[in-house]
Amino acid sequence: MEDDFPENPLQGFSFSCRRSGNCCAQPGGRVRLEAKLLPKIAAHLGLKVEGLLSLYLVQGPDGDFLAKEAQGGACPFLASKDGKASCKIYPFRPEHCRSFPFREDVLKDSRVLASVLRFCPGLRPCAQDNPPPEDSRSQDSSPENPEENSWELP
């Protein structure tokens, strides 16, 4: 991290997800899932937990699980629907995915931020007379709000 890197370098940016899927296709961006979520994720995919494990996951440290890398290093839950990226486990995606791009690893490292600014078409500088809304993430949802799951596969 550079000494003069600002506390919140995305303060002057707005974010509206364009469903490019680029954030889910970055090699090395291993998705970590808590063990307690596995039964729900398996049921969501129409699988048994054993099937979820063998198809998608490997055991990680601390009792959690890491998503296997799909072709090119992408997340194995990344899919496509109507020509746009889709997440197979959208209601249960981890905080790492929910909080993108306002994540500590992006906000605290200028090299990561520069990379995100290159690959994410939804992140744009605000015009000076058009400040960003309080929370401009347009694709956020949770299992409690399934009607908002616009990334979810049918």
- Kindly list the residues in this chain that would bind ligand SF4 in the complex (CB under 6 A): 24, 31, 75, 77-78, 87, 89, 93, 97
Q: Whole-number minimum distance, CB 131 to ligand SF4, in Å?
A: 27
Q: How far is the CB of 14 from ligand SF4 (least distance, A)?
A: 20
Count of residues making up the chain? 154
Q: Are 89 and 45 in contact (CB under 8 A)?
A: yes
Of the candidates 20, 11, 19, the one whose C-alpha atom is nearest the C-alpha of residue 139 is 19
Please give the C-alpha separations between residue 138 and each of 1, 28, 43, 123, in angstroms, as whole numbers. 29, 26, 27, 11
Q: How far is the CB of 152 from ligand SF4 (least distance, A)?
A: 10
Distance CA 23, CA 27 (A): 10
Q: Which CB atom, from 14 or from 141, has the smaller least distance to ligand SF4?
A: 141
Start-to-end Cα distance in the chain: 42
| Identity of the residue, 87 or 113, whose beta carbon is nearer to ligand SF4 in the bound complex | 87
CB of residue 68 vs ligand SF4: minimum separation in angstroms? 11
> Residue 31 or 123: which CB sits closer to ligand SF4?
31
Q: Which one, 73 or 131, has the nearer CB to ligand SF4?
A: 73
